C-alpha cells in the first residue's frame, strides 16, 4: 500500500471557473441562490428539437401511460434544481416491465422527436434512470422504489405528497 501524500506547506487550491457559477441553497427556504439562481426565474427556452420542458413532460407521461407504468408521480424541480425542470417517478410490476417501459420511452423520444436520451440501469431492470434533458425519469420495481423513496427526498418543503399526474 502506498503512503498518503500530504500537500506541500505552501500549496494552494486551484480555482476552477465553475466554482464561481455554482449555486447554493438558502438554508431557510431551500431555494437556490447565487449566480445560477437567476436562470430558474427566466422563461425556459425550447430545446433544439423544438420541445419545451412542458411538452416533453406531456410526451413522456403519455408514453408511460401507454406502457402501463404504475404510480406515476411528477415533481416540479423548476426553481429548486438546475439539473432538470421535472422529475418523473414511476413503477413497473417486474424487472422485465421496467426495462420495457424504459426502452420504449427512449425509442419513442428518439424516433418521434429526435431526442437522444441517456439511460442507466436497464440491464438489471430494478431502477432505470432516463435523462431526457429537461425531464429526468426514474422507473422502479415497487420494492426498490419503496427502499429509496425519492419522492420524499425531492418533495417540496411543507408538502405532504408530490404532484401526481
CB atoms within 10 A of CB 37: 16
- Decide the pairing of beta strands 86-91 and 135-140: parallel
pLDDT attached to residue 79: 83
Q: How many CB atoms lie under 10 A from the CB of residue 141?
A: 20
Tens of pLDDT, residue by residue over 34-82, are 544 444 444 444 455 567 888 999 999 999 999 999 999 999 988 888 8
Instruction: Note whether residue 41 is domain-resident.
Output: no
Strand blocks (E) in 35-104: 70-76, 86-91
Distance between CA atoms of residues 90 and 69, nearest Å: 6
Residues 100-150: tens digit of each pLDDT:
999 999 999 998 888 888 999 888 888 999 998 889 999 999 999 999 988
Which residue segment(s) compose the domain that 123 sits in?
Answer: 53-154
Total domain count, the chain: 1
Residue 84 lies in a domain: yes
DSSP H helices, 85-140, are 95-113
Q: Which residue has the higher pLDDT, 59 or 20?
A: 59
CA 115 to chain centre: 16
Residue 108 lies in a domain: yes
96 within a domain of the structure (yes/no): yes
CATH classification of the domain holding 69:
3.30.460.10
Higher pLDDT, 86 or 21: 86
Amino acid at each position: 500500500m502506498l503512503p498518503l501524500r500530504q500537500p506541500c506547506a505552501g500549496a494552494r487550491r486551484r480555482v476552477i471557473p465553475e466554482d464561481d457559477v455554482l449555486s447554493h441553497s438558502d438554508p431557510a427556504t431551500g431555494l437556490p441562490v447565487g449566480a445560477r439562481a437567476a436562470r430558474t426565474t427566466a422563461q425556459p427556452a425550447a430545446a433544439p428539437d423544438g420541445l419545451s420542458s412542458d411538452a416533453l413532460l406531456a410526451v413522456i407521461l403519455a408514453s408511460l401511460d401507454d406502457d402501463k407504468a404504475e404510480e406515476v408521480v411528477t415533481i416540479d424541480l423548476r426553481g429548486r434544481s438546475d439539473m432538470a425542470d421535472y422529475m418523473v417517478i414511476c413503477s413497473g410490476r417486474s424487472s422485465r416491465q421496467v426495462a420495457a417501459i424504459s426502452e420504449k420511452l427512449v425509442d419513442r423520444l428518439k424516433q418521434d422527436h429526435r431526442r437522444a436520451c441517456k439511460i442507466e440501469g436497464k440491464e438489471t431492470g430494478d431502477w432505470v434512470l432516463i435523462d431526457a434533458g429537461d425531464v429526468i425519469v426514474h422507473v422502479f420495481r415497487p420494492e426498490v422504489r419503496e427502499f429509496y423513496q425519492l419522492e420524499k427526498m425531492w418533495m417540496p418543503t411543507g408538502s405532504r405528497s408530490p404532484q401526481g399526474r
